[in-house]
Amino acid sequence: MAERWSVGARLRTLFGGGGAIDDDTWTDLEDTLLLADFGADASERLVDTLRDQVTKLNVSSARELQGMLRDAIAELLAGNDPTLRLTKPAPRADGTVLPAVVLVVGVNGVGKTTTIGKLSRFVVRAGRSVIVGAADTFRAAAVEQVSTWAARAGAEVVGPAQPGQDPASVAYQAVDRAISTGADVVIIDTAGRLQTKAGLMDELTKIRRVVEKLVPIAEVLLVVDATTGQNGLSQADAFIQHAGVTGIVLTKLDGSAKGGFVVGVQQLTGIPVKLIGYGEGIDDLAAFNSVSFAAALID
Ligand code: GDP
Ligand code: MG
């Protein structure tokens, strides 16, 4: 995994010399966290935690702060359960087996379609079959793009029968097809922009309602581009308010010096980060793990 987003190097420059801990130390630490996009709340909380520990444990050398920070971050992140729920719902009374349905939402360009390709590959590799619903039907190029990714991943695609077909009906058909073929997982791609934001939220609500006539939705994943930081989060706010988001996928961590955004996102939204994307390749996706992420961020 690329490590441009690590703050470890900066911490080593600041504290590696092992000087004494004083007021400047805390200012430097807070600035470092803010620059790495931890957000004001999480930065302050982490500095407070460390200050407490330094007093209690009688720590005198700044060198020790790096490890303490790593553990404090892991602990802060551990409050959120990152488990991706791909368990199938209980079969219907007549014995029909139902697929786990994942809806992928987020603003244009954040990496939804790419993430769907990566996630499909991941699930197929685990021995489960995937149907991708190409419900971003407003641009022919979007259907083509998700179809290419699905082919690479070894997943089937259900797309619009004619250009511009209603996205909710495509989503419905994808789930219906999975039920009739016994496919394990359905992943639905959606548009990131329509004429109006309200129109898009209505469309997503309709997709959810129509799909849930067949199967309860297992996950609504909101994709967020890590390079956009807090600004990207405010763009994503409408989705958080209206789309029933159950997990966040943070993409483009390879291109960001702001890995702290992972902490900021969870603090601000209360929604767990479940997957992280760190490149344009099909294998550049990982399940989120708080301990290893904190280590990669800080060490
Ligand atoms: P969508 O509009 O949300 O569906 O976004 P796309 O999946 O089309 O991705 C937009 C651009 O972001 C493409 O050029 C992708 O290759 C790129 N992209 C997606 N995920 C990542 C990532 O984790 N790292 C990098 N560097 N680029 C990514
Ligand atoms: Mg797309």
Q: Is residue 281 within 6 Å of ligand 1 at its C-beta?
A: no
Q: Is residue 113 within 6 Å of ligand 1 at its C-beta?
A: yes
pLDDT by position in tens, the chain (length 299): 445 556 888 888 888 887 889 999 999 999 999 988 888 999 999 999 999 999 999 998 888 999 999 999 999 998 889 999 999 999 999 999 999 999 999 999 999 999 999 999 999 999 999 999 999 998 889 999 999 999 999 999 999 999 889 999 999 999 999 999 999 999 999 999 877 888 999 999 999 999 999 999 999 999 999 888 778 888 889 999 999 999 999 999 887 767 788 888 888 899 999 999 999 999 999 999 999 889 988 88
- 50-71 b/e (C-beta count within 10 Å ≥ 16 → b): beebbeeeeeeebbbbbebbbb
Q: Which helix (H) or strand (E) holds 223?
A: strand 217-225
Closest C-alpha among 260, 285, 290, 262 to residue 275? 285
Note whether 224 and 110 are within 8 A (CB): yes
Q: How many alpha carbons lie under 13 Å from residue 79 in its C-beta half-sphere? A: 11
Question: Coil, strand, or helix at residue 17?
Answer: coil
Q: Is residue 251 within 6 Å of ligand 1 at its C-beta?
A: yes
Other beta carbons within 10 Å of 193: 14
Q: How far is CA 236 from CA 111, 240, 265, in A?
A: 13, 7, 11
Closest C-alpha among 123, 83, 99, 82 to residue 282? 123
* Nearest ligand to residue 191 Cα: 2
The label of the residue with tokens 């892991």 reads 74
Helices (H), 20-166: 23-35, 40-57, 65-78, 112-125, 140-153
- 209-234 b/e (C-beta count within 10 Å ≥ 16 → b): ebbeebbebbbbbbbbbbbbbeebbe
- Mutation choice for ligand 1 from 280, 283, 285, 288, CB with most ligand atoms inside 8 A: 280
Q: Is residue 255 within 6 Å of ligand 1 at its C-beta?
A: yes
* Nearest ligand to residue 138 Cα: 2
Q: Is residue 3 within 6 Å of ligand 1 at its C-beta?
A: no
- The torsion of the CA quartet 105, 223, 38, 274, rounded to 10 degrees, works out to 110
